[in-house]
């Protein structure tokens, strides 16, 4: 399996622009997670889906952030409008009940908002 795939790997954008991050989970996994990592705050869970349904979005910082999972093999995290404080590394992870919910992470997207 190719593992969790994220794109783009790096994104540089100007404040106010819309940013869309993409994730393809491991085939067969039914849970998908979006995390954000910064030096100041460490690793934060933003939102997670189970069977394509959002279960917990309490970590989404503001209404500027939204996430969708239209099918079992694709998810997006959108920031609109972006702000410099959104600069971070965003990780996607997936898991399945069949593997005791062991989470597998993607390589991350490094976002820089100028």
Partner 1 sequence: KQEVTQIPAALSVPEGENLVLNCSFTDSAIYNLQWFRQDPGKGLTSLLLIQSSQREQTSGRLNASLDKSSGRSTLYIAASQPGDSATYLCAVSSPYNTDKLIFGTGTRLQVFP
Q: Which residues make up the interface to partner 1 (CB under 8 A)?
A: 31, 33, 42-43, 45, 48, 50, 55-56, 91, 93, 95, 97, 100-108, 110
**Nearer Cβ to partner 1 (58/71):** 58
**Residue in 41, 30, 32 with CA at minimum distance from that of residue 86:** 41
**Nearer Cβ to partner 1 (67/93):** 93
CB of 94 to partner 1, least distance (A): 11
CB of 70 to partner 1, least distance (A): 20
**Nearer Cβ to partner 1 (65/91):** 91
Q: How far apart are CA 73 and CA 61, in angstroms?
A: 25
**Nearer Cβ to partner 1 (64/110):** 110
Q: How far apart are CA 87 and CA 68, in angstroms?
A: 20
Q: How far apart are CA 1 and CA 95, in angstroms?
A: 13
CB of 81 to partner 1, least distance (A): 27
Contact 49, 75 (CB under 8 A): yes
Strand partners, 36: 44, 90
């Amino acid at each position: 399996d190719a593992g969790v795939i994220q794109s783009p790997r790096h994104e540089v954008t100007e404040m106010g622009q819309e940013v869309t991050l993409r994730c393809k989970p491991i085939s067969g996994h039914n849970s998908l997670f979006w995390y954000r990592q910064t030096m100041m705050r460490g690793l934060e869970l933003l939102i997670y889906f189970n069977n394509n349904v959002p279960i917990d979005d309490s970590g989404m910082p503001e209404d500027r952030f939204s996430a969708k999972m239209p099918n079992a093999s694709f998810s997006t995290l959108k920031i609109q409008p972006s702000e410099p404080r959104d600069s971070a590394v965003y990780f996607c992870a997936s898991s399945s009940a069949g593997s005791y919910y062991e989470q597998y992470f993607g390589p991350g997207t490094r976002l820089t908002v100028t």
